[in-house]
Amino acid sequence: MKSIVERDPAERCFLCGTWGQLEKHHIFGGPNRKWSEKYGMTVHLCPVCHRDNRRGVHGDAEKMLALHQTGQREFEQKYSHKKFMQVFGKNYLDTEET
């Protein structure tokens, strides 16, 4: 499914804006990877933002949380909070300051 997070065709890294080689990243991975694919919970990242052990989303917990929160917001705009909880089982927005 086409990404519901990226509105336009991916030409730049979703996080840093770098042009060039991009890699598809499933916002919710592991056992939720298939749901990310089904519901369009993907973004395109440059290799550094995707795979770097310190600066990439797989190595930087803050960046990963930010993507989870963005993904949840976008999902809930299209579907609902209830549906998000049924599919992904965790509320990532609970950690935001109000």
What's the pLDDT tens digit per position in 47-76?
A: 999 999 889 999 999 999 999 999 999 999
- CA-to-CA distance for 48 and 13, rounded, in angstroms? 10
Give the residue-averaged pLDDT of 66-94: 96
Average pLDDT, the chain: 92
Q: Percent of the chain, pLDDT > 70? A: 96
The structure's pTM equals 0.89
Give the residue-averaged pLDDT of 24-43: 96
Give the residue-averaged pLDDT of 3-22: 90
- CA-to-CA distance for 24 and 50, rounded, in angstroms? 9
Six-digit token pair at 26?
A: 């499933």
9 pLDDT exceeds 80? no
**pLDDT at position 98:** 43
Note the Cα 91 to chain centre separation in Å. Answer: 14
